[in-house]
Amino acid sequence: MHKALVALAAYWLAGCAVNLSEARPARVLRGGEVQVSEINNIIVPTGALADGAKSVELVYTALREKKSLSAVEQRDFAGRTAANALTGPGFGAHVDISLGLGYRLDTSFRFGNGIYAASVRRGFDGPKWHGNVGVRAGYNTGMSVIPYLEQLNSYVEIADTSRWDWQAFAQLGREFQQWGRIWFGAKAMRSVFTVTVDATKLGLSKEVIDDQLDYLGGSFGFALGYRYAFFVGELHVLRSIGSVYAFGGERGLNGITIAPSWGILGQF
């Protein structure tokens, strides 16, 4: 029973979860202003959870009854694992360092859990509301928040994963004196990925999959604190669009992804 539970945990946590959060107010930083934040992210892909439940049931039954998977089950499980590596649930944390450049521009650098990203925003200020449009380029190495679990899946191993995430976003928000911020926005993202899935333990091959996946959706966020320090919360809801061909079959990657995030932000 313990081995079954460990293997299932490995299945769910292997691969690279996307990073969707902004977790910073809509007002672009003024020249010389600095923001530093630590943000935690949870990824809940409803489509992947429903599809992956079938794989969970399959491998749990095989481990409990100590039986081998059939040829059809082997290919099905390997294909589902490849899809799960790209759109599966996950948890991660990152640090953002943002700097105001002047001329209504700011930039941000992000790192943590194998994610490295940089963005630039152009701001627009009104009497009460602030807006911005921006772009971000990010590289995801596929590092798991609990990496040793990836070695415990006795069926299929995600041998290597890398993805480039290209994002365009827009935000609108308001500040309330020195204690509060709210913002909402829209985001489009294209992920270009390469994932290597090793199913040789099942008697199958090691496949290298190159493809892309799109996300479209929106977000709402807030920050509460005073002057220099704030607690930040944000919620993204996006639709994933795409598919992946692996181990003789095509897996749809379409579905709704819910991505809450929270953390702390310092502004100087």
For 140-153, write each residue's pLDDT tens digit.
Answer: 886 544 444 444 45
**In-domain check, residue 22:** no
Q: Is residue 178 part of a domain?
A: yes
Tens digit of each residue's pLDDT (9 = 90 or more) over 27-37: 999 999 999 99
Q: Is 57 within the bounds of a domain?
A: yes
Give the domain CATH number at 203: 2.40.160.20
Residue 83 inside a domain? The answer is yes
Residue 251: name the closest of 74, 48, 43 by CA: 48
pLDDT reading at 126 higher than 80: yes
Residue range(s) defining the domain that contains residue 185: 2-16+30-267
Measure CA of the first residue to CA of the last residue in the chain; give whole Å: 52
Banded model confidence at residue 255, pLDDT cuts 50, 70, 90:
confident
Domain assignment present for 42: yes
In a domain, 23, yes or no: no
Q: For residue range 5-27, list pLDDT tens digits in order.
A: 444 554 445 545 678 899 999 99
Is residue 113 assigned to a domain? yes
Cα–Cα distance measured from residue 12 to residue 90, given in angstroms and rounded to the nearest whole number: 8
Residue 93 phi, psi dihedral angles, 5° rounding: -140, 145
Residue 185 has pLDDT above 80, yes or no: yes
Q: Which of 15, 36, 64, 63 is CA-nearest to residue 230?
A: 36
Q: How many domains does the chain have?
A: 1
Residue (of 133, 131, 136) closest to 115 by Cα position: 136
Q: Tell me how far apart the alpha carbons of residues 264 and 247 are, in angstroms, rounded to a whole number.
A: 43
Residue 40 is encoded by which pair of tokens? 């935690």
Question: Does any domain span residue 24?
Answer: no
pLDDT at 120: 98
Kindly report the backbone phi and psi dihedral angles of residue 178, in degrees, each rounded to the nearest multiple of 5, phi listed first. Answer: -105, 10
Which pTM value belongs to this model? Answer: 0.83
Task: Answer whether residue 101 shows pLDDT above 70.
Answer: yes
Q: How far apart are CA 66 and CA 53, in angstroms?
A: 20
Looking at residue 106, its pLDDT comes to 98
Percent of the chain at pLDDT above 70? 79
Placement of tokens 């992920």 in the chain: 191
Binned at pLDDT 50, 70 and 90, residue 100 comes out as very high
What's at 234, amino acid-wise? Answer: E
Distance, in Å, from the CA atom of 28 to the CA atom of 171, rounded to the nearest integer, reads: 10
Average pLDDT over residues 184-213: 87
